[in-house]
Amino acid sequence: MTRRRRLRRTLITGLSLALVAGGIYTAVTLVQRSEQLITEECTAAVGAQQAELATDQAANAALITAVSVRRGLPPRAASIALATAMQESKLRNIGHGDLAGPDSRGLFQQRPSQGWGTQEQVMDPVYATNAFYDALVKVPGYATLEITDAAQRVQRSAYPTAYAEHEAMGRAFASALTGQTPESLDCTLRSPEAAGDPAALFTELEAAYGAIPAAATGQTLQVEVEDSYAWSVAHWAVANAKEFSVERVDVDSKRWDRKARNGWQDAPDSGGGVAITLAAEGS
């Protein structure tokens, strides 16, 4: 082989490698850019009703609803609580009040000066939610009242009709998160940025639902619950998928797959209870 031919072959090989490397770089760049273009949000679709929340709002909605399930309250209680928290704080655990209530704090903007607890207590979402339900269940016939009426009797707001604006959202997310409507909660998320911690997920799960039978095997937390309770936990896991790097949830022969981004799909091989699989290191 002449020197010229060897040089030509070397140049062609180098050019080919450069094109391959460039293609890989372009593909990786496109994937990264497409990930950034994803709008992260959660949707509850129940019948003709559909409502959307940001991922942090959905996680708080899941907590509020889980506490109602833990207490054995009807889904209507969760609807009222969600509409109330949306009006008071946009479903965010804020550490400040407003002109009408400068000492208001937390998900429900509860005021320590009005007997709701200390500032530290009302900033604890579990405490604040239980405090709201403690007051709600004392309202005679709250489950049959209009949401705005029930919320006002608890909150005594200066804007009593405002709660009605969030009634549809409250109903949709309450129906999904109490497990009354299976396959009704979906979150569109980017890929996890870190590995998930099953122990941390279980701690948060117990804070919401109380003692619950569960065990971890590797990156999967298996929760032994059934029927609507199982769907409540499954939807709770989806609503908390962003914070805890949840990749997959299996329940009742159905699967939610974060990477697929196609909602709940058939999964005949899934076992009983709820299996919550978190991202592994390097996944």
pLDDT in tens, 88-105: 999 999 998 776 678 899
Question: Does residue 102 share a domain with residue 216?
Answer: no
Question: Does residue 157 share a domain with residue 81?
Answer: yes
Q: Is residue 11 part of a domain?
A: no
Q: How large a percentage of the chain has pLDDT more than 90? A: 78
In angstroms, the Cα distances linking 46 to 56, 75, 179, 182 are: 21, 13, 11, 9
Residue 185 three-state SS: strand
Dihedral sign of CA atoms 42, 44, 45, 49 in order: negative
> Which residue has better confidence, 184 or 272?
184
Of 147, 177, 207, at which residue does a domain stop? 177
Question: What's the N-to-C CA distance of the chain in angstroms?
Answer: 47
Q: Is the pTM value of this prediction over 0.75?
A: yes
Band (pLDDT 50/70/90 cuts) for residue 34 is low
Task: Return d(Cα 205, Cα 66) in angstroms, integer.
Answer: 9
Number of domains the chain is built from: 2
Q: Where are the strands (E) in 54-196, listed by range?
A: 185-188
Q: Is residue 64 part of a domain?
A: yes
Question: Does residue 172 share a domain with residue 60?
Answer: yes
Task: Return d(Cα 200, Cα 234) in angstroms, integer.
Answer: 16
Task: Return d(Cα 117, Cα 134) in angstroms, integer.
Answer: 13
